[in-house]
Amino acid sequence: MCGTRMRSRAEAGRAASALALFLLLAGAAHAHDARPIFVQLHETEPLQFALTASLPPPLAPHRLRLALGPDCAPQASAASWRCRTDPQLLRLRLPSGAAALPILLRLRWRDGTSETRVFAPGESELALPAREEALAVFASYLSLGVRHMLTGWDHLCIVLLLLWLARRAWPLLGAITGFTLGHSVTLALGALSLITLPLAYVECLIALSVVWLAAQMRRAPHAAPPARRLMPLAAAIGLLHGLGFASVLRALGLPQTEVPMALFGFNLGVEVGQLIFLAGWLALAAAAARLAAMLPQLNPLRARMRPLMLLAIGSIAAYWTLARGADLLFA
């Protein structure tokens, strides 16, 4: 009886811990939408510009104030501006909650060319480029790729699950290589509109892939697949996640004259963000192992952390799937 009661208490403790972790991370379900503030400046007539902006869905009801300067004046509304020379500065007044989002600016010139720049979160004055340069496009899309990877909770969950599934260095290298090859293919094809799927469907499927992988690992935590099977599995998951990256790029737009450089920069940025996350997690795991070696009483807690995190990741991903599925049904 005493043993049964102790087991019940232990199970209740694990359930409570998983619930607390779920509640702590559940806010990330909607925080995944880390798409930047999108501003477009379109030259409709010589030195006359249409100025528009859009906020990500969670901030859509808020208002974003824009102004061109210094040699520009608004016409009938702040959406139309007349300038004496090419505009050099764009001022923004960000609503509350938007200061943590990067700003993506797209300029469309009257001759049909376009260019894109990414600015750091919280900037209120943006220096407008005079012309498109390959290096500037590469830097902008590299930054956008890093930011998107490090703020994409579902992408990070997959990388973490692949790390746990690999267990050793060589299988991990194969898994990361497979994931990279998979998302690189669909990122390029999707961004060039050779494959098109609505972003809402893609995000729902991505969340479902996290649920499936977490459930497989939860069911058989010690049955790691052979290295030769891990790479194709990671590649298949990468194909799906690449469609998510491509949907973001397609929604934001690619520069007209530097498409290869933009694609290369964004894809490399995703890889850099992925490596930053892996390096940080491995450093954290090494520090935890050293601490457990110095304090052996922490070993039982350390042994329970991975099952609890698997349960939390699977639960959160299930919530993402249901929430995104409901958005599709009631859109």
Q: Any idea which of 2-6, 167-171, 269-273 has the lowest mean pLDDT?
A: 2-6
- Residue 254 has a CB neighbour count (10 Å cut-off) of 22
Q: Evaluate whether residue 4 is within a structural domain.
A: no
pLDDT tens digits, 123-164: 888 887 665 567 878 888 898 889 889 988 889 999 999 988
Does 188 lie in the same domain as 122?
no
Q: Say yes or no: 233 and 107 in one domain.
A: no
Domain count, the chain: 2
Q: Who's near 37: CB < 8 A, 6+ residues apart?
A: 53, 54, 55, 56, 64, 92, 94, 98, 101, 102, 103, 104
pLDDT-derived band of residue 169, with 50, 70 and 90 as boundaries?
confident
Q: Are residues 27 and 44 located together in one domain of the fold?
A: no
Residue 90: strand, helix, or coil: strand
Residue 22 lies in a domain: yes
Cis omega before residue 70 (within 30°)?
yes
CB 316 within 8 A of CB 19: no
Average pLDDT over residues 280-306: 84
**Predicted pLDDT of residue 13:** 46
**What mean pLDDT comes out for the span 15-35?**
46
The verdict on 227 and 195 lying in the same domain is yes
Mean pLDDT, range 319-331, rounded to an integer: 83
Q: Identify the pLDDT of residue 60.
A: 65
* 146 domain residue, yes or no: no
Q: Are residues 113 and 227 in the same domain?
A: no
206 or 255, greater pLDDT: 206
What distance in Å separates the CA atoms of residue 67 and residue 50, rounded to the nearest whole number? 11
184 pLDDT tier (thresholds 50, 70, 90): very high
Element at 238 (helix H, strand E): helix 227-252
Mean pLDDT of the chain: 79
Q: Is the pLDDT of residue 23 over 70?
A: no
Of the candidate ranges 76-90, 111-125, 200-214, 260-274, the one whose mean pLDDT is the lowest: 111-125
The confidence score (pLDDT) of residue 32 equals 45
| Across 248-262, average pLDDT | 75
pTM value is 0.68
Q: What phi, psi does 61 have (nearest 5°)?
A: -65, -15
pLDDT at 299 over 70: yes
Domain assignment present for 145: no
Residue 46, both tokens? 């010589």
**Is the residue at 81 inside a domain?**
yes
* Residue ranges of E strands in the chain: 37-45, 48-54, 65-69, 72-74, 80-83, 89-93, 103-108, 114-119, 125-127
Q: Are residues 24 and 90 located together in one domain of the fold?
A: no
pLDDT at 283 over 50: yes
Look at residue 241 in the predicted model and tell me its pLDDT: 92
Residues 80 and 113 in one domain: yes
Query: Are both 27 and 78 inside the same structural domain?
Result: no
Among residues 101, 132, 163, the one where a domain terminates is 132
Share of the chain above pLDDT 70, in %: 81
Q: Which of 76, 99, 132 is the last residue of a domain?
A: 132
The Cα 189–Cα 207 span in angstroms is 21
Q: Quick one: residue 255, left, alpha or beta (phi over 0 = left, psi -120 to 50 = alpha)?
A: beta
Q: Which residue has the higher pLDDT, 200 or 237?
A: 237
Range of the domain at 304: 13-32+152-330
